[in-house]
Amino acid sequence: MYRYDAQDVIRASPNLVADTVAVLVRDSLCFKATPCVFSYGRMIEFDYEIPGWAILAFADDSTWVRVSLAPSESVGPTGWVALGDSVKALHWSQILPSKRLFFLRPDDVAFHHAPLDTARIARDLLKYPNSERLDYIMSPLEVRGRWLRVILMTPNPMCKFPEPQVTRDTLWIQYLTSEHRPRVFFYTRGC
């Protein structure tokens, strides 16, 4: 979890004496060979103005996590952060079932009658005017492993006045991949 007084040392391997890859001091991420950058752009915001590292893997003893230092890049710098009193791991399964969700990619859009059901249910999702972006939102109801039962609402009624006529349907989605990576996202602020 990010703290405004944060100080994390990102190591090359899960060892306190390993080379330092970067140091996080407050809102600056300083790399060994390059200038410091604003850390907020290198983290994932998981609540309003609360960023954290994107965890890629856990060490065998689970006391360290390998993190991405550029989660928006497909191949970016990584390093290891020690877990402890001031640094805690937060799993997607702890966050996503409490948020209003959207699919990350068009290929992820899939609705099912039940968990583990391979047959997809066709749903016509409305699009925003003059856009290819789908106009919907999902509210989680129940979790079963990597699956969520959701209320699908289209169009998305949030922040629309007057509220539009909304179609609601209760369906299942696979919200995590087999590697426990998210297939959905949520907005941490605004509409």
Strand bridging mode 50-52 / 44-47: antiparallel
Whole-structure pTM value: 0.81
In a domain, 102, yes or no: yes
The answer on 133 and 86 residing in a single domain is no
The answer on 43 and 116 residing in a single domain is no
The answer on 105 and 80 residing in a single domain is no
The answer on 176 and 130 residing in a single domain is yes
Of 49, 72, 90, the last residue of a domain is 90
Stretch 133-137: mean pLDDT, rounded? 93
In a domain, 168, yes or no: yes
Count up the domains in the chain and report the number: 2
Taking 3-state DSSP, the helix, strand and coil percentages for the chain, each rounded to the nearest 5, stand at 5, 40, 55
* 23 neighbors 9 (Cβ within 8 angstroms): yes
In a domain, 24, yes or no: yes
**According to the model, what pLDDT value does residue 75 have?**
84
The answer on 130 and 102 residing in a single domain is yes
In a domain, 2, yes or no: no
Look at residue 87 and tell me whether its pLDDT is greater than 50: yes
The answer on 111 and 56 residing in a single domain is no
**Most confident by average pLDDT, 10-14, 50-54, 73-77:** 10-14
What is the extent of the structural domain holding 78? 7-90
What's the pLDDT tens digit per position in 3-36?
455 678 999 999 999 999 999 888 889 998 778 9
Of 171, 113, 108, the C-alpha closest to 134 is 108
Question: Cα separation of 68 and 75, whole Å?
Answer: 9
Of 74, 90, 106, the last residue of a domain is 90
The answer on 44 and 99 residing in a single domain is no
Look at residue 2 and tell me whether its pLDDT is greater than 80: no
The answer on 15 and 73 residing in a single domain is yes
